Amino acid sequence: MTQENDPGIIAAKAVAERFGALSLTMLNDTDLSPIWRISFVANFFTGPLNAEVLDRFDISRPGFVILFSLSHEDGLVARDICRVTGLPKNSISRAVTELETKGLIARDTDRSDKRAKPLHLTVEGSGLLAKIVPLFTGRQAAMLAPLTTEEVAELDRLMGKITCAMPDWVEPD
């Protein structure tokens, strides 16, 4: 196989053309290349999606995170959402206020802890989330398209391993 037909070289040229030659160095030839790749993919996955969600639905990234979190567990408080996402408390608090003003979530008072304000997804919030999630699942499918089913499973396994080790290197709040 000649260099001009080598899939690796073709892919590297496409990356350099799209993201600049420095991207190849940062992605492959530094002491931080493994984590740089994770960040690079995450940034290009979430950045455009968050911008589209903000533009089309007037929902910020923290707002989406809150809606998505509540769709999986009703009654979370802001502190819970900060804990499961790593987003700062001020960003979550501001987004809670915005979502409540828009009628997308409702806030209660916990009878046992008057300071706690459990959050609940409203019907309107669920409806909006149903429009947003397909944007993420579609982009996820596009991102994973170059991988075989086995490679997707392996990526999932490896990311799970890294995620499960986080208590060893993430400082508690």
Contacts of 104-110 with CB under 8 Å at 24 or more apart are: 104/59, 104/63, 104/67, 104/128, 105/66, 105/67, 105/70, 108/75, 110/77
Q: pTM value?
A: 0.86
Residue 66, amino acid: I
Q: Residue 75 belongs to what H/E stretch?
A: none
Q: Can you state the angle between helices 33-57 and 123-144, rounded to 10 degrees? A: 140
Name, in order, each residue with C-beta under 8 angstroms of 106's C-beta and a sequence gap of 6 or more: 100, 119, 120, 122
Pick the CATH number of 31-168 from 1.10.3720.10, 3.30.1280.10, 1.10.10.10, 3.40.47.10: 1.10.10.10
Query: Which is nearest to 121 in space by CA: 129, 109, 113?
Result: 129
Let me know: does 117 contact 93? Beta carbons within 8 Å. Answer: no
Average pLDDT of every residue of the chain: 91
Torsion of CA 7, 11, 13, 16, to 10 degrees: -160
The three-state secondary structure class of 116 is coil
- 6 has pLDDT over 90: no
Name, in order, each residue with C-beta under 8 angstroms of 128's C-beta and a sequence gap of 6 or more: 57, 59, 67, 104
Q: What is the pLDDT of residue 20?
A: 87
Range of weakest confidence among 42-51, 102-111, 145-154, 161-170: 102-111
Mean pLDDT of 108-128: 85
Q: What is the pLDDT of residue 114?
A: 65
- pLDDT tens figures, 67-92: 999 999 999 999 999 999 999 999 99
Q: What is the pLDDT of residue 52?
A: 97
User: So where are the chain's domains?
Assistant: 1-30, 31-168
